[in-house]
Structure 1
Amino acid sequence: VVRAISQSKIPVVSAVGHEIDWALSDYAADKRAPTPSAAAELCVPQLSDIMQTLRFYQNELYSGVKMRVEKTKLMVKAFNPDNLELKFRSIEQPLLVRFDNAKDDLMQNISRKLQDTRRFIENCATILENASPQVILDRGYSMVREKSTQKIIRDGTQIAAGAEIEIIPAKGKITAVVTQAK
C-alpha cells in the first residue's frame, strides 16, 4: 500500500482515522489528516472560500478602474478646450489597452482556477465512489448479519451455533443457520 501511495500520480491524503500513532501510509502520502472527516475537508475547498476570492478580485478590479477614472478626471480638468480631445485620447488609449489586458488575464486566471477546482472535485468524487460499500461488495466481499436483530457480524464470537444469519453479497441474499461458531 505504501509503495502504491508513493507511486501514485494522483495526490493522496492519508487518513487512517482517530489514530494517535502515524501509519506508514502517512509518510508516503502527499498530505496526512488525523481523521477521514478532516481528510474530506482538506480535499474539497469551501464554495464560500472560492466565492470570497472571486469577490476580492472583483473589488480589486473595480477599485483599480475607479482610481484610474478619478485620475483621468483630474487630468482632463487641466486641458484647454482646443486640444482637450487629442490629449484625452492619448491618455485614454493606453488605459483602455491595459484594462483589456487586465480583464483578459483575470478571465484566464478564473478559468484556470475553475478547471483546477473541477479536476480536484472529480478526483475526490472518484475516490468516494471507489470507497462505496456496493463497490466493495462487487469485488467479491459479503456482509453477514444476524437475521433476527439485523446486527452486522464482524467476529465469529458474536454469534452462537443455531442462530439464523443472512449473507448479503453484491446481489441477492443468502439465509443460513450457524452450525459452529468460534
Structure 2
Amino acid sequence: VYERRGDYQIVAEYMEPKGLGALQLAFEQRKEKLRAEGLFDDARKRPIPLLPGRIGVVTSPTGAAVRDILHVLRRRFAGVDVLIYPVAVQGDQAAPQIVEALGELNRRGGLDVVIVARGGGSIEDLQAFNEESVARAIAASRIPVISAVGHEVDYTIADFVADLRAPTPSAAAELVIAKRDELAQRLDDLHARMTGVMRSGLHGLRVRMSGLNRHLRLLNPVERVQMQRRRLAELMKGLTGCADRRVTMLHGELKAVVGKLDSLSPLAILSRGYSICLRLPDREIVKDSLAVDPGDLVEVRLHRGRLRCGVREVQRQEG
C-alpha cells in the first residue's frame, strides 16, 4: 500500500473465470471434449427394453437411492429380478469402482438394463459421475444404462452419455418398469394393433384368393371351351350380319350395272322400233348404203324375229 498516493497493489497467483470454480470449469471442458467425440449422440444410444426380466443397480448399498429404487420396483412389478452391485458413490474410490462394476456386469451378462444411481449432493459430491473414465465405461457398456444421479436439477456427464437419463433414482425405477395397469394397457393396444394387422392381411389374402380363383377358372379347359364357344358365337353373329350387309350392297350394285347394260344394249334399241341390217354372207353390220350393191342379200334383225331380203335398189346419200 502506498500511503502517500493512496494506491495499493495485489499480486495474483491463481485466477478462475467469474462464476465458475475449478470443478465447474473442468466439467464444461470434459463435456465439450466427449461431445466432440460423439459420446452424447442419440444415434449410438440403445433403447431401454419394455419389460426387463433382470435389472442391475450400481450404487451404494446403504444409501437412500437403493431403497427408493427397490421400493418402486416392488410396488410396480414385484416379480422383477434385481442385482445390486455395491460401490462407493463419493470420494476417490467411487469412479474406479463404478468403472469396475460396469465392466463386471457386462462380462457376467444376463442383465437387460443397468441403473447407475446415487442421491443428491454438491458438485463435489457428484464428482465421480463427471469423471471421463465413468463416461467411457457407460458408453462402452453392451447393456443399456440409465443414469439416475442427484436430484432433478443436477446434471452430470454420466447423464449425457447414458442411454437414458432419469432425474432421480425413484424416477429411474419408474422408467425401467411400467405399472401393471400400464403394461396391461400396452398389451391391449398391441393386441388391437395385431388384430387390425391380421384382419387387414386376411382381407388382402381373400382378395388375392378371389383373383386366383377367377384366374383358375379361366385356365380350366371346360371353362375355356365355353368361353371360346361364346366368343365364336359372337363372331359368327357379327360375320353373318356383315355378310348380309355385303350381299345387300353387292345386289344393289349388280342391279345398277344390269340396268346400265340394258340401257346400252342394242336389243333394247330394237324394242323401240329400230332394226339392224347385216350383209350376207359375212354378216357385217351395214352402216352405209355404199356397203351393198343391188342383188346383195341382207338380213334385217328386228325386236322379234329376222328378215332375209335382197337388195333391188341402192340410194346414195350425198354429203
TM-score relative to the length of structure 2: 0.25
Greater share of residues in helix: 1
Q: Which has the larger radius of gyration?
A: 2
TM-score relative to the length of structure 1: 0.41
